[in-house]
Amino acid sequence: MNILTPDAGLLFWMLLSFSVVFFVLAKYGLPIVLGSVQKRKEYIEQSVKAAQEANERLGGIQAEGEQLLLDARSRQQEIIAEAMAEKQKIVKAAQEEASTEAHRIAEEAARRIDAAREEALKDVHDEVAGLALQIAEQVIRQKMQDDAEQRAAVERLLEDF
Amino acid sequence: MKVIGKFIGWLCHFVGRHYKVLLGGGVVLMALYLFLSKQAEEVRGEKMDVKEIIFGHLADAYEWHVVEGVVLPLPCILYSEEQGFDVFLSDKLEHGEEYRGYHIDAESGKIVNKAGVRPLDISVTKNVAELFLVCLIVCSVVLSLAFWYRRHGYLSAPGGFLGMVESIILFVDEDIAKASIGHGYQFFSRYLISIFLFILTCNLLGLLPVFPGGANLTGNIAVTLMLAVTSWLAVNVFAPKAYFKEIFWPKVPLALKAIPLMPTIEFIGVFTKPFSLTVRLFANIMAGHIIILSLTSIVFIMWQVGDLLGFIMNFVSLAFIIFMNCLEILVAFLQAYVFTVLTANFIGMAQHEE
């Protein structure tokens, strides 16, 4: 049948045309298209990767910041605790010093009071001695004059005492 | 089955994405068939030979009927030892006239000389003219896509028609070439994309019933034969040594090789593959054309039988023709896909022969 016998002319033109189409497509058309698509694919992959990395880095920065904050807080606590301890130490030292000073002052005062009393007693002794002497002088003088008188005088003197 | 499912999935995605373009094509086709059924009324009363009409449409011709009464003459290029080259337009041979000793043989429809012998005939026939058109379309579409990338750089993707072409190219590259051949597929991928686009364009243009289309290219055995020859070359020329060893000295018991039974079968197999490719594409497309032409002829025949029958069959036939055309658009894609995928599989098997 006519339909089943390939025509030589059409075969010839077909070979020629398809070769031309294949040559043009394979040399000038498809490399650009496929190359562009490939490049675009790579670009997209790269971009996704870069975005992921940036995201990760952002997460890292956040964590770092939090860590920093945490560190600062604990350092603050430490410093405050240290300051408190220092304060207490100072207060304690001051108290101790104050108490020793007070002690010393009290002792000094007691010592002075003792000294003053002794002096006063000594004065009193002197006075009493002087008085006794005076009285004795008076008695002796009265004795010389009158017995009764003397007796009255002694009684009077004794009453004065 | 998995491959077919994958293909249908891609087709659905493709139709969903480019439905505007496809819908436009459908509307044009429908308008043409409405016009056709109006034409049918005008031929009432004439006796018609359906078989001749159908095979006349399927066969090649030296001129191109554009519409009724308008014929585009095409150049005839002939060579014979006695006369050398003869180049003239086909309108010189109209109605059986003789020119420079040549006339068109009524029975075969080919140019013969006075003795009835065919010269070497490389005329630009209707099919050849269509072939040129297909080449022009395929080249310009792919080149315009390439120019688009030259202009816009690779960071943005084209939309519209060029986007559709790009998705076809990538489908062949990824899902046919890479999937079937695997390692080293890039070398063959350009050839596979070329045949896919070429066959698809031929199929779709063949479905177009008016002037720039209508020639039955992939339903012509010469075209499919030449495509199969290129496929055979792609399989065998670049095949590694292991492939040829497997043909001529396969790993089978020695008895099967001593009497060269297996090598013979393998060797025949090398040629049955392109043969099956040739016949499959040719038969599928030709059958589709015959069905559509037959359904179209029903309208004409029924109008001859009677007015009422003609009127009714007008709509019935129209519905069938639209359905068949939709089916044929599917077949156009499917057969381009099948030819490409089989070629890719043959290449893959040859490349990775154990």
**Which of A9, A14, A33 has its CB closest to that of B145?**
A33
- Dihedral angle over CA of A113, A114, A115, A118, nearest 10: 120
B142 neighbourhood in chain A, CB within 8 Å? 24-25, 29-30, 33
Q: Consecutive sets of 10 residues in chain B, 354 residues long: mean pLDDT of each? A: 77 81 78 65 64 80 81 87 84 80 81 83 90 94 93 87 92 93 89 95 88 83 94 92 85 80 88 94 92 86 79 84 91 95 93 75
Cα–Cα distance for residue pair A158/A156, rounded to 1 Å: 5
Cα–Cα distance for residue pair B218/B278, rounded to 1 Å: 10
The predicted pLDDT at position B46 comes to: 61
The predicted pLDDT at position B34 comes to: 67
Residue range A112-129, pLDDT digits in tens:
999 999 999 999 899 888
Q: Strand B84-89 relative to strand B75-80: parallel, antiparallel, unpaired?
A: antiparallel
**Which of B186, B190, B229 has its CB closest to that of A25?**
B190
The predicted pLDDT at position A1 comes to: 47
Closest by CA position to B123, among listed B70, B60, B67, B66: B60
The predicted pLDDT at position B208 comes to: 86
In the block, tokens 């030979």 appear at B49
Q: Tell me, what's the ipTM?
A: 0.82
Q: Which of B85, B171, B193, B197 to mutate to test the interface with A (most CBs of A within 10 A)?
A: B193
**Residue B96 near residue B103, CB atoms below 8 Å:** yes
Helix (H) or strand (E) holding A139: helix A30-143
Closest by CA position to B344, among listed B169, B175, B181: B181
The predicted pLDDT at position B116 comes to: 78
- Angle at B214 (CA atoms; ends B211, B217), nearest 5 degrees: 130
Cα nearest neighbour of A47 on chain B? B155
Phi, psi angles (nearest 5°) of residue B285: -70, -40
Q: Please, which residues have CB within 8 angstroms of residue B104's CB and are 6 or more apart in sequence?
A: B62, B93, B96, B110, B111, B112
Looking at the whole model, is its pTM more than 0.80?
no
Instruction: Give yes or no for A58 touching B (CB within 8 A).
Output: no
Closest by CA position to B203, among listed B295, B292, B330: B330
pLDDT of residue A157 exceeding 90, the answer is no
B194 neighbourhood in chain A, CB within 8 Å? 18, 21-22, 25-26, 30
Beta bridge partners of A8: none
Residue range A67-96, pLDDT digits in tens:
999 999 999 999 999 999 999 999 999 999
Cα–Cα distance for residue pair B109/B352, rounded to 1 Å: 47
**Residue B203 near residue B317, CB atoms below 8 Å:** no
Question: What tokens appear for A8 in the block?
Answer: 């030589």
Cα–Cα distance for residue pair A78/A85, rounded to 1 Å: 11
CA atoms within 13 A on the CB side of A104: 6
Question: Closest approach of chain A CAs to the CA of B251, in angstroms?
Answer: 37
